Amino acid sequence: MQTYRQALAQASQFIKDHDQFLVVSHVNPDGDATGSVLAVAHLLHFLGKSYMLVNEGASPRRFSFLKGFEQIINLSETPVDQRFRYVIAVDVADQERLGEIGPLFSDDAELLNIDHHPTNTRFGQVNVIQPEAASTTEILYDLCQRHFQQAFAPDLAEALYTGLLTDTGGFRYANTTHKVLEMAADLLTYNLRPAKIAQYALETITTGHIKILKQALDTLTFAYEQQVALMSVSLEAIHQTGVDRDDIDGLVGYPSNIAGVKVGILLKEVEQGQVKVSLRSRDTVNVAEIAQVFGGGGHAKAAGFTYRGTLAEAKQALLAKLEEVLH
Q: Is 269 in the site for Mn ion (CB under 5 A)?
A: no
Rounded CA-CA distance 201/219 in Å is 27
Q: Give the residue, chosen from 97, 209, 262, 315, that forms a contact with ligand 5GP under the rule CB under 6 A.
A: 97
Q: Each residue of 120-133: b (16+ CB within 10 Å) or e?
A: bbebbebbbbbeeb
CA nearest 232: which of 209, 211, 255, 198?
255
Nearer to ligand 5GP, 111 or 302 (CB): 302
- Kindly tell me which of 26 and 209 has the beta carbon lying closer to ligand 5GP: 26
> What's the distance, CA 22 to chain centroid?
18
**Per-residue contact flags (x/-) with Mn ion for residues 86 to 105, judged by CB under 5 A:** -----x--------------
Q: 158 or 269, CB closer to Mn ion?
A: 158
User: Could you say whether residue 155 binds Mn ion (CB under 5 A)?
Assistant: no
Q: Which are the contacts of 49, defined by CB distance < 8 A and separation ≥ 6?
A: 15, 18, 19, 20, 21
| Phi, psi of 138, rounded to the nearest 5 degrees | -65, -40
Q: Which of 26, 28, 32, 238 binds Mn ion (CB under 5 A)?
A: 32
Q: Cβ closer to ligand 5GP: 155 or 296?
A: 296
205-234 residues in contact with Mn ion (CB under 5 A) are none
Contacts of residue 12, defined as CB under 8 A and 6 or more positions apart, other chains included, come to 143, 146, 147, 148
List of long-range contacts for 320-323, beta carbons under 8 Å, 24+ apart: 321/290, 321/293, 321/294, 322/223, 322/224, 322/228, 322/263, 322/290, 323/224
Choosing among ligand 5GP, Mn ion, none, which partner's interface includes residue 306 (Cβ < 5 to 8 Å by kind)?
A: ligand 5GP
The yes or no reply on residue 124 touching ligand 5GP (CB under 6 A) is no
Instruction: Report the residue number, 142 or 167, with the smaller CB distance to ligand 5GP.
Output: 167
How far is Cα 327 from Cα 312, in angstroms, rounded to an integer? 22
**Closest distance to ligand 5GP from the beta carbon of 105 (Å):** 19
Q: How far is CA 83 from the centre of its chain?
A: 25
Of 21, 51, 152, 305, the residue at the interface with ligand 5GP (CB under 6 A) is 305
Beta bridge partners of 274: 271, 308
Closest CA to 115 of 128, 126, 98: 128
Binding of residue 94 to ligand 5GP (CB under 6 A): yes
Binding status of residue 157 toward ligand 5GP by CB under 6 A: no
* Coarse DSSP helix, strand, coil percentages of the chain, rounded to the nearest 5 percent: 45, 20, 35
One of 94, 167, 247, 269 touching Mn ion (CB under 5 A):
167
As a whole number of angstroms, the distance between CA 313 and CA 138 comes to 38
Q: Kindly state the smallest distance separating residue 37's Cβ from Mn ion, in Å.
A: 12
Options 27-35, 46-54, 201-209, 294-302: segment touching Mn ion (CB under 5 A): 27-35
CA atoms within 13 A on the CB side of 112: 26
Site track 104-143 with Mn ion (rule: CB under 5 A), x = hit: --------------------------------x-------
Distance CA 256, CA 243 (A): 22
Give the interface segment with ligand 5GP, choosing from 16-24, 98-106, 213-221, 298-306 (CB under 6 A): 298-306
- Could you list the residues that contact Mn ion (CB under 5 A)? 32, 91, 136, 167
| Contact positions vs ligand 5GP (CB under 6 A) | 26, 93-94, 97, 119, 278, 296-299, 302-306
